[in-house]
A and B are shown apart, each in its own frame.
Chain A
């Protein structure tokens, strides 16, 4: 009985949808919107099937599919999901559907092109999360840039062209270095005696590369991922791209694209270069801490709501990086959960800011004030998301941050202490912003006539808010999904450490034994 290639179906369903959209007359905008949303909703439902059939006790890849692709180079079409990627796949399909629904009213020009871009983007992002062959991964990783580039550039704000080119070139610059790294890894693997020329992640992960090679390759990969995360000091493209992108673009950018960077570290940098990972842990951790504090401090002084949320992402992603490089089970599990959390809460924040912008055509904090009395439902939703973002217990943000801090605390108290300061700062900038926007007197007359959330907007926000609460009070199913895979990943990193620590001794021991034997023979002979 042949199994359904469910991973491929999920990945390429949006692509099929995009092809279908091309056949619809561009004047039938409503039909285009419904079709796009329908495709993304079906994709989400199918991806739930992945979750339903996922076996929690299996640490390795599930639903694997493999086919020859570039025969001569040994590059394969190899996809699959494990506990680390499954949640991200679900996040992607979920947020894309939400983002498409949210742009029903916001997008008025070139609707067809917009929806085609959204669906192509979804295929690209899903491909990144399921690819297990490095060339395939790279194709999705770079290919995904094209639709995002158009989304920001065509439907973005006033400085969209600057922002989108900066976004494209930054990501590409990191990407091509990774490409060199990928090719070098390929020849390192094949050039060894008995080695195999392969781009297969699982086979390459089993390599025992010399430290020197690992360090260089780690850097080549890490720069690409760090730009995407973005880690301080590679973050400068992010505020521009976030601010200029249309609402749905920001949601996808913050919700999914940034996770591709942190996912890259987990999926590629750690298992491929375990020794280098441990070597660079202090550097990465410090950059993460700088990012946490810097992002928070810069957020505090932003007059623009969207920019504030954008910089808060730098801070939140710093937490994720810190958790990953704690290299403890709690740290990494917390980091993965925090990726999901950030996707939900920051995605929701961008949605809310977008809804505000659609009404008032401004995002400046000073233009608001006293909204709580005018739009109570909006305010309530905003409050929940704000509290989730600062990590209030009972909501999702708390669980992730707490696990990251516990995981970090076990390896380095100083890191954990500094990161905790970031949480306090987060409370400062988020609550202060909330206060200025929602409370106080209504300063501007234009705000008096604001309309509260419409039914469609509530439909957009409700599932996100529900997940925020669900993860907050019952995170167990989400954590259990990642558990086995994380344990296996860390075991690999740690086992290599022990191997390396021992490798000098056994070899030395062999050598002495050998010397003793020959010496013994010598004595015998004498």
Chain B
């Protein structure tokens, strides 16, 4: 702002640069490699992800604000960036098996995955509405392409187009909201917006409220909150399975990270307003997601509606606007990412070369014919349903604790009632796997070690977080301290 070039802190930027560099390297190497060796590109990308994670861990104690207050390398960003890298890493592990089977072995696949991870990391690190928007667009544009990556499948094309159109729509809302917030407070920097609010220097409170509303609508689209969820089932069903897993676990977390930072850092003064709006969104999202999920017969579609419902639980914690609520969101998003990625990894593992096997009936007898795979799926399903001793239960415990602490008893009761509804359709998967008569299925494809690793990490994480949740919760609570300043 003062005309001089901002001081660049390379250390803080290192993780972002590593991801960008790996992505570019993959793009360059792709045409140089012979087609049969292209399956090494995801492995290279995985290396980049691991290096970025190490760089983050290396600098975990340094909290700084760089680029003239536009980016923060604080505890909050650290938590989310590690989460995104975990999601990207697991997605890459799943992808190695998936893209070989579907013939998607193009370098662009891994590169785009890395670029969208970069977008997520920027979103969670931003202290500025404009950088948040840039991060979001980096993320979204990469995903528009990835959603349509199965070029010869009409469903994948539909998914890409639908995602693009509605995503553009959401971006419009978001930009409009940013403009109105800027108009009302004279700044797009989150801390300056908060200061303006605290000092009463708001030019037009109505404008600010409308701006806030538009921001919530924009993010509502991205997290697929009801009533902005219409695109989600079609996109999640049509996109390549590995990409769906990435979107469900990663995009949602990134959008919540940005929304959480905006609401808690810039707009805490408006909490009564946004709490009321989010209350309605939370109830609608949980209920619609769960009720509609019951009727699904396609497993990807069912998991899509389930992910809508889970966004509702996160919104419950967001409504409270408390430290415990924010910590609960972080914990929940981690648990949610693990169990969803795990479930999608099983979906990929259960598929065969010639047949994706995506209807729920295709899982008949899986629990007894492939016991390890079935057991892993059962773990993910019980975790999604919130049954102890799994991560999903602990996440819900924290979310509902936050709600009750914040005096939202009604919301907590609606939430737990919803988790009983959700148990019904998650149980159906286990019923089909273990209790329905198995089919005389041809022998399954051998699982690739990468896929096995992804399932093991996800299942292990889901159980560990369920049994020993203490450490992560404390990290989450320490991380949100950066928001509350």
A residues in contact (CB < 8 Å) with B: 26, 68-73, 110, 113, 135, 138-140, 142-143, 145-146, 149-150, 153-154, 160-161, 164-165, 168-169, 172-173, 176-177, 179-180, 183-184, 186-187
Partner of A135, one of B397, B468, B473: B397
For residue B298, CB closer than 8 A to chain A, the reply is no
Contact with A along B364-377 (1 / 0, CB 8 A): 00001001000000
Contact with A along B400-433 (1 / 0, CB 8 A): 1100110001001100110110011001001100
Q: Which chain B residues lie closer than 8 Å to A187 at the CB level?
A: 401, 404-405
Least CB separation from A160: chain B residue: B435
6 extra A-B contacts, CB within 8 A, seeds A71-B474, A172-B387: A69-B470, A150-B434, A160-B435, A164-B435, A177-B413, A180-B409
Q: Which chain A residues lie closer than 8 Å to B434 at the CB level?
A: 150, 153-154
For residue B388, CB closer than 8 A to chain A, the reply is yes
Q: Which chain B residues lie closer than 8 Å to A169 at the CB level?
A: 420, 423-424, 427
Q: Is the CB of A168 within 8 A of B404?
A: no
Q: Which chain B residues lie closer than 8 Å to A172 at the CB level?
A: 387, 419-420, 423
Q: Is the CB of B435 within 8 A of A143?
A: no
Q: Which chain A residues lie closer than 8 Å to B424 at the CB level?
A: 165, 169
CA distance A149 to B431 in the complex (A): 10
Q: Is the CB of A183 within 8 A of B387?
A: no
CA distance A177 to B416 in the complex (A): 7
Partner of A113, one of B371, B388, B401, B430: B371
- CB within 8 Å for A146 and B382 given contacts A70-B470, A169-B420: yes
Q: Is the CB of A183 within 8 A of B388?
A: no
CA distance A146 to B401 in the complex (A): 24
Partner of A161, one of B371, B409, B431, B470: B431
Q: Is the CB of A72 within 8 A of B404?
A: no
For residue B477, CB closer than 8 A to chain A, the reply is yes
Q: Which chain B residues lie closer than 8 Å to A113 at the CB level?
A: 368, 371
Q: Is the CB of B388 within 8 A of A138?
A: yes
Count A-B pairs with CB separation below 8 Å: 89
CA distance A113 to B430 in the complex (A): 14
Q: Which chain A residues lie closer than 8 Å to B368 at the CB level?
A: 110, 113
Q: Is the CB of A176 within 8 A of B389?
A: no
B residues in contact (CB < 8 Å) with A: 368, 371, 382, 387-389, 393, 397, 400-401, 404-405, 409, 412-413, 416-417, 419-420, 423-424, 427, 430-431, 434-435, 468-470, 473-474, 477
Q: Is the CB of B470 within 8 A of A72?
A: yes
Q: Which chain B residues lie closer than 8 Å to A73 at the CB level?
A: 401, 473
Distance in Å from the Cβ of A131 to the closest Cβ of chain B?
A: 12
Q: Is the CB of A180 within 8 A of B412?
A: yes
Q: Is the CB of A72 within 8 A of B423?
A: no
Closest A-B pairs by Cβ, 5 of them: A176-B416, A139-B388, A153-B435, A143-B388, A70-B470
CA distance A70 to B409 in the complex (A): 23
Partner of B404, one of A142, A143, A145, A183: A183
Q: Is the CB of B420 within 8 A of A70?
A: no
Q: Is the CB of A143 within 8 A of B387?
A: yes
Q: Which chain A residues lie closer than 8 Å to B401 at the CB level?
A: 73, 183, 186-187
CA distance A140 to B468 in the complex (A): 14
- 28 of the cross-chain contacts (CB-CB < 8 Å) are A68-B470, A69-B468, A71-B474, A72-B473, A73-B401, A113-B368, A135-B397, A139-B389, A139-B393, A142-B387, A143-B389, A145-B387, A153-B431, A153-B434, A153-B435, A165-B431, A169-B423, A172-B387, A172-B420, A173-B417, A177-B413, A179-B397, A180-B412, A180-B413, A184-B404, A186-B401, A187-B404, A187-B405
Q: Is the CB of A173 within 8 A of B397?
A: no
Least CB separation from A110: chain B residue: B368
Least CB separation from B469: chain A residue: A70
Distance in Å from the Cβ of B124 to the closest Cβ of chain A?
A: 23
CA distance A142 to B419 in the complex (A): 13
CA distance A165 to B427 in the complex (A): 8
Distance in Å from the Cβ of B373 to the closest Cβ of chain A?
A: 14
Distance in Å from the Cβ of A190 to the closest Cβ of chain B?
A: 9
Least CB separation from B416: chain A residue: A176
Distance in Å from the Cβ of A219 to the closest Cβ of chain B?
A: 12
CA distance A154 to B437 in the complex (A): 10
Partner of A179, one of B416, B470, B474: B416
Distance in Å from the Cβ of B287 to the closest Cβ of chain A?
A: 15
- CB within 8 Å for A184 and B416 given contacts A143-B387, A143-B388, A154-B434: no
Distance in Å from the Cβ of B477 to the closest Cβ of chain A?
A: 6
Least CB separation from A176: chain B residue: B416
CA distance A179 to B409 in the complex (A): 12
Distance in Å from the Cβ of A164 to the closest Cβ of chain B?
A: 8
Least CB separation from A150: chain B residue: B434
Distance in Å from the Cβ of B429 to the closest Cβ of chain A?
A: 12
Q: Which chain A residues lie closer than 8 Å to B435 at the CB level?
A: 153-154, 160-161, 164
Q: Which chain B residues lie closer than 8 Å to A164 at the CB level?
A: 431, 435
CA distance A160 to B430 in the complex (A): 13
Least CB separation from A26: chain B residue: B371
Q: Which chain A residues lie closer than 8 Å to B431 at the CB level?
A: 153, 161, 164-165
Q: Which chain A residues lie closer than 8 Å to B389 at the CB level?
A: 139, 143
CA distance A69 to B393 in the complex (A): 15
CA distance A172 to B470 in the complex (A): 24
Distance in Å from the Cβ of B479 to the closest Cβ of chain A?
A: 13
Q: Is the CB of A146 within 8 A of B404?
A: no
Q: Which chain B residues lie closer than 8 Å to A173 at the CB level?
A: 417, 420
Distance in Å from the Cβ of B325 to the closest Cβ of chain A?
A: 13
CA distance A145 to B423 in the complex (A): 12
Distance in Å from the Cβ of B433 to the closest Cβ of chain A?
A: 10
Least CB separation from B471: chain A residue: A71
Least CB separation from A145: chain B residue: B387
Q: Which chain A residues lie closer than 8 Å to B427 at the CB level?
A: 149, 165, 168-169
Q: Is the CB of B404 within 8 A of A176?
A: no
CA distance A70 to B468 in the complex (A): 7
- CB within 8 Å for A168 and B423 given contacts A143-B388, A153-B434: yes
Q: Which of A26, A140, A165 has the most CB of B within 10 A?
A: A165
Distance in Å from the Cβ of B2 to the closest Cβ of chain A?
A: 42
CA distance A143 to B383 in the complex (A): 11
Q: Which chain A residues lie closer than 8 Å to B430 at the CB level?
A: 149-150, 153
Distance in Å from the Cβ of B250 to the closest Cβ of chain A?
A: 27
Q: Which chain B residues lie closer than 8 Å to A179 at the CB level?
A: 397, 400, 416
Q: Which chain A residues lie closer than 8 Å to B416 at the CB level?
A: 176-177, 179-180
Distance in Å from the Cβ of B63 to the closest Cβ of chain A?
A: 21
CA distance A72 to B397 in the complex (A): 13
Q: Is the CB of A180 within 8 A of B469?
A: no
Q: Is the CB of B473 within 8 A of A146?
A: no
Distance in Å from the Cβ of A504 to the closest Cβ of chain B?
A: 29
Distance in Å from the Cβ of B350 to the closest Cβ of chain A?
A: 19
- CB within 8 Å for A70 and B473 given contacts A161-B431, A165-B431, A180-B416: yes
Least CB separation from A185: chain B residue: B404
Q: Is the CB of B393 within 8 A of A180?
A: no
Least CB separation from A127: chain B residue: B389
Q: Which chain B residues lie closer than 8 Å to A140 at the CB level?
A: 388
CA distance A469 to B368 in the complex (A): 43
Least CB separation from B406: chain A residue: A187
Q: Which chain A residues lie closer than 8 Å to B413 at the CB level?
A: 177, 180
Q: Which chain B residues lie closer than 8 Å to A142 at the CB level?
A: 387-388, 393
Q: Is the CB of A146 within 8 A of B400?
A: no
Q: Which chain B residues lie closer than 8 Å to A183 at the CB level?
A: 397, 400-401, 404, 412
Distance in Å from the Cβ of A85 to the closest Cβ of chain B?
A: 20
- CB within 8 Å for A180 and B388 given contacts A69-B470, A70-B473, A153-B431: no
Q: Which chain A residues lie closer than 8 Å to B387 at the CB level?
A: 142-143, 145-146, 172
CA distance A176 to B409 in the complex (A): 13
CA distance A145 to B470 in the complex (A): 24
CA distance A153 to B431 in the complex (A): 7
CA distance A186 to B404 in the complex (A): 10
Distance in Å from the Cβ of B428 to the closest Cβ of chain A?
A: 8
Q: Which chain B residues lie closer than 8 Å to A186 at the CB level?
A: 401
Q: Is the CB of B477 within 8 A of A72?
A: yes
Q: Which chain B residues lie closer than 8 Å to A69 at the CB level?
A: 468, 470
